[in-house]
Amino acid sequence: MNIFTVSIFQSALELGLIYALVALALFISFTILNIADLTTDGCFTLGCAVGAMVTLAGHPFIALFAAMISGAMAGFVTAFLQTRLGVESILAGIIVNTGLYTVNIAVMGFSSLTNLFGCDTIFRLVEDRVSEALAGWDKVALLLIIIAVVAVALWWFLGTTLGMSIRATGDNADMVKSSSINPTFTITVGLCLANALTGLSGALIAQYQKSADINIGTGMVTIALASLIIGQSLIGNKGSTARRILGTILGSVLYRFIVAIALRLSVPAEALKLVSALIVAIAIAAPYAKKKFALKKREIANYRTSGKEEGNA
């Protein structure tokens, strides 16, 4: 059996690039701001729902921006709860995530599924024009352009005064306050930005799969975290901002390859969530386990040598 056909590689690459936006969102909230933002699941569905509805209305490009704005609004609510109302950050995310279920289903006109068959999507518009020239790689090309624009914009932003302030907020909150930066402001901007990217990813998925489903975001935070961690272990989490952004995108693509291989090896689709959870658990636990293992090895080695010395004496 040929495990990896070109078409599997291609669709994994496409999905990887789309979900890379969520991974970048978590790069901002989880890695940079040091906040576990659990708004992600609901926010992804929100972007998907808003994106689908605006696409359905005949505006596939505006749909992307509408999804980003709605995502940013969700992020703002989470940030408001934790910075102004003293709600614990994880709880703030869970609360907003729960509330978003109702919002999302309302956006889709109180239906749990919206189909976009026959609608103009950005993929279809591009396909009509350049598909032959690119031999079917038009979606990949379009997504590469979108991701490149987002990645460059993010890299540029993180080097600006505001971007640096956001990075410092997660790095050393004490230092931020004494530099006359308001952490409430930087956390709010950071979470809005992160969730805007999540929303954009949702809208792209809606157009890519030609449907929006109320449950599409379930487990998204785990999946994105898995991508982020894979990327970090590939490239290291210490390097320059550009390197880390690139690593995050690579991680997302690699994650999709892993999933594609799993599916190819006849792992049933229902098992994928468990596979994702295992990847995250293993990826997060690995550095810790490695340290423990090294310590244990030293302990055993030490026990052996000291045992010998005692024997000699």
Partner 1 sequence: MLKLNDISKTFNPGTVNEKTAIDHLTLELKDGDFATIVGSNGAGKSTMFNAIAGTFIVDQGNIYLDGEDITFKKEHVRSKYIGHLFQDPLKGTAPTMTIEENMALAFLRASESKGKMFSRISARDKALFRERLARLGMGLEDRMKQPVGLLSGGQRQALTLLMATLVTPKLLLLDEHTAALDPATAEKVLDLTKDVVKDRGITCLMVTHNMHQALSVGNRTLMMNGGHIVFDTQGEERAKLTVADLLDKFKEGVGEELDNDRVLLS
161 makes contact with partner 1 (CB under 8 A): yes
34 makes contact with partner 1 (CB under 8 A): no
- Nearest distance, CB of residue 161 and partner 1, angstroms: 5
Based on CB atoms, which residue is closest to partner 1, 160 or 302? 160
Q: Which residues contact 163 (CB under 8 A, 6 or more apart)?
A: 157
Angle at 77 between CA 71 and CA 82, to 5 degrees: 130
Of 66-74, 160-168, 268-276, 288-296, which segment contacts partner 1 by CB under 8 A? 160-168
Ramachandran sector of residue 58 (left: φ over 0; alpha: ψ -120 to 50; beta: rest) = left
160 makes contact with partner 1 (CB under 8 A): yes
Structure-token match 């992160």, residue found: 194
Of 146-154, 159-167, 255-263, 268-276, which segment contacts partner 1 by CB under 8 A? 159-167
Of 21-29, 39-47, 169-177, 256-264, which segment contacts partner 1 by CB under 8 A? 169-177
180 makes contact with partner 1 (CB under 8 A): yes
Report which of 34, 40, 36, 13 is spatially closest to residue 250, judged by C-alpha positions. 13
192 makes contact with partner 1 (CB under 8 A): no
Tokens of residue 261, six digits: 């291989």
Of 93-101, 152-160, 262-270, 274-282, which segment contacts partner 1 by CB under 8 A? 152-160
179 makes contact with partner 1 (CB under 8 A): yes
- Nearest distance, CB of residue 135 and partner 1, angstroms: 40
- Nearest distance, CB of residue 178 and partner 1, angstroms: 5
178 makes contact with partner 1 (CB under 8 A): yes
C-alpha to C-alpha distances, 263 to 82, 185, 186, 274, nearest whole angstrom: 39, 43, 41, 13
Q: How far from each other are the two terminal CA atoms of the chain, in whole angstroms?
A: 62
- Nearest distance, CB of residue 158 and partner 1, angstroms: 10
Tokens of residue 216, six digits: 């599409």
Based on CB atoms, which residue is closest to partner 1, 125 or 168? 168
- Nearest distance, CB of residue 179 and partner 1, angstroms: 5
Of 138-146, 173-181, 204-212, 257-265, which segment contacts partner 1 by CB under 8 A? 173-181
5 makes contact with partner 1 (CB under 8 A): no
Pairing of β 113-115 and β 211-213: antiparallel
Distance between CA atoms of residues 268 and 271, nearest Å: 5
Q: Is the separation of the CB atoms in 206 and 50 below 8 Å?
A: no
- Nearest distance, CB of residue 174 and partner 1, angstroms: 5
Which residues in 50-87 are b (16+ Cβ under 10 Å) and which e?
Answer: bbbbbbbeeebeebbbbbbebbbbbbbbbbbbbbeeeb
Contacting partner 1 within 230-269 (CB under 8 A): 238
Q: Number of residues in contact with partner 1, rule: CB under 8 A?
A: 23
Q: Is the separation of the CB atoms in 79 and 170 below 8 Å?
A: no
Based on CB atoms, which residue is closest to partner 1, 178 or 266? 178
Q: Is the separation of the CB atoms in 228 and 248 below 8 Å?
A: yes
Residues that bind partner 1 (CB under 8 A): 156-157, 159-162, 164-165, 167-168, 171-172, 174-183, 238
